[in-house]
Structure 1
Amino acid sequence: MKIPSSIWTLLIGIGLTLISLWYGQNHNLLPVAASNEAVLVDGLFNTMMTVSAGIFLLVEGVLFYCAFKYRRRPGDQEDGPPIEGNVPLEILWTAIPAIIVIGISVYSFDVYNDIGGFDPHAIHEAPIMQESMTMPGAAIAATLNDTPPKTAPNLNQEKSDQAMQDPATAAVRNADQIPQKQNAPGVGSVAPTIGASREKAGQPPELTVNVTGLQYAWLFTYPETGITSGELHVPIGREVQINMTANDVIHAFWVPEFRLKQDAIPGRQTEIRFTPKKEGDYALICAELCGPYHGAMRTQVVVESQAAFDKWMQEQVAANNDTLQEAIAINPANQSPDEFLAPHTKDMGINPEILHQVHQ
């Protein structure tokens, strides 16, 4: 008995759907999801993999089927029949991809909002100055002007001043040598921010860490504690806000297991928030080409229990106090800061060249 083509089409469609759904959830292309934000990003990625697998199998299946069924037979020297087109088919294979792209775009934007990527209150609106109202056409020019007026507050400068109130942060940043840029969102010149998630919008972060990128290391300071570390330690289940800048060139803070990445830019104060949900040690990688030793700019993010984090904080505070007392007791007046701090910074994983750059 010959099976109708409609039945074959239905069976093939069901098979492709099941295979695509299975592969979309079992591709094993991503590392472990170690933050709450990673779960949202993985959902989007899995959806795109499901759709991509289905389209790939459908297109390649039709291609192989047609190549086999309509191949030239031995002895056949005739030309193929002329086919001028099929309007319904062209509409179909144009409309379906358009619908898929629009759907993924809406889903992507929703995920971006959920992880705190879009803040409508941060959109820049160039104010119309009072003097511009007296000049013909000046009001329109002021509205279209992308550059903030000189009287507008410099948010980067304000955030930098706030971070520099912490002595440990001020010791590793050279903010006095790098002018803080003014945000101009209309032309794309902004300090990138991934803020609080939708559920925690308007709430202050549970932990704030200042991060400074420099060739070729990450330095982490915990405000009001005096702690400076070459590793980032965070407690599990608490929302962490990372305030970043760079001392020299652009770097990028990227932890693959968190599914988040943010640039550290000289003259700009960038921000990222995340909530770790799985204990472990995760690689922090600079994802922006920052010089010849860019590949070596790596460190660890340690996600641990609250008790282990509190213990680590106490150990760091005690170590800093011991180092300070030792410094007061043994530092000769003729030693330079680099020479004196070299043996102490070695324990923190900071080499003398990096220390020299910090003081510069």
Structure 2
Amino acid sequence: MKIPSSIWTLLIGIGLTLTSLWYGQNHGLLPTAASDEAVLVDGLFNTMMTVSAGIFLIVEGVLIYCAVKYRRRAGDNEDGPPIEGNVPLEILWTAIPAIIVIGISVYSFEVYNDIGGFDPHSVHESPIMQESMAMPGAAIAATLNDTPPSTAPNLNQQKSDEAMQDPATAAVRNADQIPQKRDAPGVGSVSPSIGASPENVGKPPGLKINVTGLQYAWIFTYPETGITTGEMHVPIGREVQINMTANDVIHAFWVPEFRLKQDAIPGRQSELRFTPKVEGDYTLICAELCGPYHGAMRTQVVVEKPEAFEKWMQEQLVANNNTLKEAVAVNPANLTPDEFLAPYTKDMGIQPEMLHHIHK
């Protein structure tokens, strides 16, 4: 009994769909999803892998089928039949990719919005956007001139001043040597930001950490306690707000398990919010080529239970106090600054050979 081609097409379609769905959820290409935001990003990635796997199987399957079925037989030296084209088929294979791309674009924007990447209120409330809306042509002029009107507040400077109120942060950052840039032209964006997720909008973050990038180390200061460390600790289930800048060149804060990456830019105050969900030690990588020792600019982000985090905080408070008492003592051996600071910075996760790159 010969099976109709329509039945074959249906069975092959079901097989391709099931295979694509299975691979989209079981590709194993991503590391642990260690934050609430990672789950959203993984959903988008899995969807793209499902669609990509289906398209790959269809295209490669048709190519292999045609190469086998329509291969040249022995003794066949005739030209192939002239084919002028098929308009409905061309419309179909143009419309399907267009629909897929539009669908993924909409889904991508929804994920970006859900992780706090877009806040329409901050755009409309920006002084530059208000002026652009009030004055015809002002938006075009703003994009041609990267210096907004002097009457507009410098929000980067305001955020920098707020961070510098913490003595520990002020001791690390050289904000007095780097002028704080004004709003980005046209959109009133202070700096690269991934803000609060929709359910946390309007709520204060559970934990604030000031992050300073410099060649070639990350320095973390906790303004609520004055702790300074080279290894970041955060508690599970508590939203963390990272306020970030750089002392020299552009760096990038990237923890693959969090699925979030944000630039640390001299003269700008970047913001990043996330909520850790899986306990563990994760590597923080600088994702911008920042100099010859760029590959060594990495440290650990420790996600731990709230009680373990509180214990660590208490230990750091004691350690910082003891370190301060020891550091103000006389240096009887006349050590160089690098040699003198090495024992103290070792506990902070800063490599001794990088000390000479750190400037206040």
Q: Structure 2: how far apart are the matches of 1:122 and 1:81?
A: 62
Aligned residues: 352
The answer to whether residue 237 in structure 2 is matched with residue 204 in structure 1 is no
State the match for 1:159 in structure 2.
159
Match of 1:193 in 2: 193
Q: Does 1:244 align with 2:216?
A: no
Report the Cα offset of residue 199 of structure 1: 1.0
Q: Percent identity over the alignment? A: 81
* Structure 1 position 22, deviation (Å): 0.4
TM-score after normalising by structure 2: 0.92
Counterpart in the other structure of 1:78: 78
Instruction: Give CA deviations for 1:4-49 in whole Å, capped at 9, x if unaligned.
Output: 1111110100000000000000000000111000000000000000
In angstroms, what is the RMSD of aligned CA positions?
2.1
Change (3 A) 1:154 1:335: farther
Pick which of 88-97 and 182-191 moved more.
182-191
Shift of 1:293: 1.0
Report deviation, 1:174. 0.6
Measured after TM superposition, the shift of residue 348 of structure 1 is: 1.9
SS at match of 1:175: coil
Give 1:94's aligned residue. Answer: 94
- When normalised by structure 1's length, the TM-score is 0.92
CA distance in 1, matches of 2:168, 2:238: 23
Name the counterpart of 1:320.
Answer: 320
**1:142 aligned to which of 138, 141, 145:** 138
Distance 1:336 1:294, change over 3 A: closer
2:240, 2:347 → 1: CA distance? 25
Give the superposition deviation at 1:338: 5.4
SS at 2:53's partner residue? Answer: helix
Change (3 A) 1:231 1:128: closer
1:114 corresponds to which residue? 114
Q: Is 1:46 matched with 2:53?
A: no
Distance 1:33 1:67 in 2: 42
| Alpha-carbon displacement from aligned partner over 1:87-137 (angstroms, at most 9, x marks no partner) | 1100100001111111111011000000000011222544549xxx9xxxx
Does the CA contact (< 8 Å) of 2:129 and 2:187 recur in 1?
A: no
String of CA shifts for 1:264-294, please: whole Å, max 9, x gaps.
0111000100000000000111111111111
Corresponding residue of 1:136: none
- 1:63 maps to 63
Report what 2:17 is aligned to: 17
Query: Is the 1:126–1:145 contact (alpha carbons within 8 Å) kept by the matching residues of 2?
Result: no
Kept in 2, the 8 Å contact 1:286–1:297? The answer is yes
Cα displacement (A) at 1:143: 4.4
Q: CA deviation at 1:341?
A: 3.2
Give me the whole-angstrom Cα distance separating, in 1, the residues matched to 2:46 and 2:308. 34
| Higher alpha-carbon deviation: 350-359 or 280-289 | 350-359
Contact residue 173 and residue 358 of structure 1 kept, 8 A: no
Deviation at 1:345, TM superposition (A): 2.0
TM superposition shift of 1:166: 0.5
In 2, Cα distance between equivalents of 1:248 and 1:44: 35
Structure 1: gaps of 5 or more residues:
134-138
Aligned mates of 1:157, 1:190 — CA distance in 2:
10
Alignment correspondent of 1:221 = 221
Alpha-carbon distance, 1:321 to partner: 1.1
One-letter amino acid of the counterpart of residue 324, structure 2 = L
Equivalent AA in structure 2 for residue 5 of structure 1 = S
Aligned residues of 1:252 and 1:286 also touching (Cα < 8 A): yes
Question: Paired residue for 1:263?
Answer: 263
Contact 1:127–1:142 at 8 Å: present in 2 too? no
